[in-house]
Amino acid sequence: MKIKSVEASWVHIPIPPERQHTSDFGRTLSFDGTVVRIDTECGITGWGEAKAQVGGMAQNQAL
């Protein structure tokens, strides 16, 4: 089985006010992450996700 393609997409998800978290860094208004799709030559598609601690958009642009 060989990988045919890999696609990474940045996602920005707003957090409803009643679920937002406040810390010394301020209030968390949204969640940033990366969704990854991997396709094989056999027609199998796999999905994965990751949460970056910092720089989510910059890391996605690097991919």
At 41-50, the pLDDT tens digits run 999 999 999 8
Q: Which two tokens stand for residue 45?
A: 């598609």
Asked if residue 63 is part of any domain, the answer here is: no
**pLDDT number for residue 26:** 86
pLDDT at residue 61 greater than cutoff 80: no
Q: What is the pTM of this model?
A: 0.63
Rg (C-alpha) for the chain, rounded Å, is 15
How many structural domains comprise the chain? 1
- Summarize pLDDT for 2-39 with one digit per residue, the tens: 999 999 998 999 999 999 988 888 888 998 888 999 99
CATH of the domain at 44: 3.30.390.10
Q: Tell me, what DSSP letter sits at residue 60?
A: H
Which amino acid is present at 5?
S
Q: What is the pLDDT of residue 63?
A: 59
Q: Which domain holds residue 28?
A: 3-52
42 part of a folded domain: yes
